[in-house]
Amino acid sequence: MSKNPLTRRMKFSAFSPLSLLPAVIVVIMLTGLAACSSIDCPLNSLVYTQYQLMNAAGRVDTLADTLTISTKRTDGNDSVLINRSVRTTEFSLPISYSQPQDVFFVETIDTLTKTVTLDTITVEKVDRPHFESVDCSPSYFHTITAVGTTHNAIDSVVINNPDVDYDTSRKHFNIYFKHRR
């Protein structure tokens, strides 16, 4: 046997770079699996349009009347989205992903005279499929192309930001009610 200690260590060493290969492969596979399963999918795939009430001077307005907003679902039934909101300055409404337009029925009740006024808001849009991951449910973002309204209690509705996505901080519409009292 050789008297050189370096040679002796090399001969009797159990360590080999090839012996680590199975362990490296397992670590890479576990890292890949953890990366795929840790995706934060949105809890709700619906996106909402944000409405801000404004006055003629361009300032945020408060609607003193009672506000109820409903829509007709695709199965033909009515669905109340906002029920008897009072002192409203802003609100959110869901936007569909299966129709080219959404129609909302707006009912205001004067708090003093109890007079009921009905309006309709029609939002036309283009749906854009949005992909998060194969682990997440499908979702749609939208581009608003037009908005129309009847003019009973509502004076006008203006598109402020046409892109609808998960960002709820942006106001998509400014809605102007006619001056009362």
pLDDT in tens, 58-111: 999 999 999 999 998 877 777 899 999 999 999 999 998 878 999 999 999 998
Contacting residues for 146 by C-beta, under 8 A, at least 6 apart: 123, 124, 159
pTM of the predicted model as reported, rounded to 2 decimal places: 0.73
Strand (E) positions, the chain? 48-54, 66-72, 78-85, 90-94, 101-109, 116-130, 139-149, 154-159, 163-164, 173-177
List of the chain residues with pLDDT < 70 = 1-19, 30-39, 42-45, 180-181
Instruction: Give 157's strand partners.
Output: 175
